[in-house]
Amino acid sequence: MISPAVITLIVLVAAAVLFISEKIPVPLTAMLCLAVLVLTGIVTPADAIAGFSNSTVILLISMILVGGALFETGVTEKVAKAALKVAKTEKQMIMVVFWLGVVLSALLNNTGVMAMMIPLLLGLQASVGYSASKLMMAGFLGVMCGGRLTLVGDATVNSIAQNAIVELGGTFGAFDIGRIGLPITILTFLWLLFYGWKKLPDCKTTEDSSIFNSEEKKSAPLWQQIASVVVIALVFVGMCVTGKIGIPLYMIAMLGAIAVCAMRILKGKAVYNLIDMKTVFLYVGMLPLGAALKTTGAAQMIADVVAQICGGTGNVYLITAVVFLVSCFMTQFTSNVVTINLLVPIVVAIGETLGVSPAALIVTATIAATCGYVSPVACPPATIIYGNGGFKFKDYGKCNWSLLLLTFVLCVVLLPMLWPL
């Protein structure tokens, strides 16, 4: 009889093959994986549907609604006109969007920032004709870079690493992640400026984004325009002080969404059109797979292979490379939060076995887990742009594989210097 761990690994490999081939729609693949896990008894029905109430799902839907209010009131058109004074070409706009993502995500949760940017970027397409998919991919790369500059940006992943390092007796300050995050940000910008901007996919946005067609624009009263700006400003402020006020991020975003709906800034069909269900099904469908990797022991099987590969070697660059590759691969199909949760105890054990610094391996695994450039499953920001930008699974890899390779080389060289093994 096949063990649950082996079944889970088979599902993981099958998901990867189906995602890459896109023989069936990507969200359907995610739901099929979920169905197999339930039918084999690896995941309970209750756990299977729990993802629909996941805080990240609530956060991304709420922030899209908050950002959508800016479009409905015509604020995004004014933002587009102001942006055109700074960025007069599509390439320049791509750079502006990238740095906007970097700065905002260094200060705020990058999932919320990406969700808020979606309506703004679709609005730019409607107003001036720039490709929304190109801008979304640039924004996605920006928020991922910003998330590696401070603990706040990619808060969940970074905090898992911080807690693990502190438990080992080390320290990991608010800006320590930026020691490697800043070089990666500079590398990403240079790649985008001289090469990557030409590779950004120009996709047709989904029909669900018809709310952003120029002919459907409506003029809103001045008070609604002001109200939409005030709401999003309050949401941002709330996210900055979430730790002090004791209200979780998703609740702050949800209160903002409730506010714009209560004021009738968003109503009826507009609300439904803004919520891309393909994104929701893709994210929810893959959550239980990550949990199954841990509960069935499949993750430990992967760890054992890693330990065998690294066993007996004192080459810090080889150890860094192997840990990075394992974390990076896993995150493409199980999401970065799940990956780092799975890998932290594993890399700690590997570090102790090989006699190297577990803290250094934790940082390596964490950075690799945030390099989800080639899959819409890898992290919430990647999932958010998937449906809204009209992307196919392969668009991520075709666009970003060279950036991922460069980032891998940079990290293998710098990480052992910044966090000696």
Which structural domain range is residue 74 located in?
53-277
For 199, counting Cβ atoms within 10 Å of its Cβ (0-12 exposed, 13-18 middle, 19+ buried), the class is middle
- As for how many domains the chain has, the answer is 1
Q: Which of 315, 278, 303 is nearest to 421 (CA)?
A: 315
pLDDT per residue of the chain (421 residues) written in tens, 0 to 9: 788 989 988 988 888 888 777 788 878 888 898 899 999 999 899 888 887 887 778 877 887 788 778 777 877 677 767 777 778 888 999 999 999 899 888 877 788 788 878 878 887 787 777 888 999 999 999 999 998 998 777 877 887 888 888 888 888 877 888 999 999 999 999 999 999 999 999 987 654 444 455 445 556 788 888 898 899 888 888 877 877 888 887 888 899 989 989 998 887 777 777 777 777 787 788 778 877 877 888 877 877 777 777 766 668 888 899 899 989 988 888 778 778 877 887 788 778 777 788 889 999 999 999 998 998 988 888 988 988 888 988 899 999 999 999 999 999 999 999 988 6
Q: Is 199 among the domain residues?
A: yes
Q: Is 162 among the domain residues?
A: yes
CA distance 349 to 165: 13
Q: Is 62 among the domain residues?
A: yes
- Residue 207 DSSP class: G
Task: Say what the alpha-carbon torsion angle 178, 363, 101, 25 is, to the nearest 10 degrees.
Answer: 170
Is the dihedral angle over the CA atoms 355, 359, 362, 363 positive or is it negative? negative
Burial 28-57 (b: 16+ CB within 10 A, else e): ebbbbbbebbbeeebbeeebbeebeebebb
Q: Are 123 and 79 contacting, i.e. CB atoms less than 8 angstroms apart?
A: yes
Q: Is 355 among the domain residues?
A: no
How is residue 214 written in tokens?
Answer: 């120029």
Count of other CB atoms within 10 angstroms of residue 258: 14
Q: Is 192 among the domain residues?
A: yes
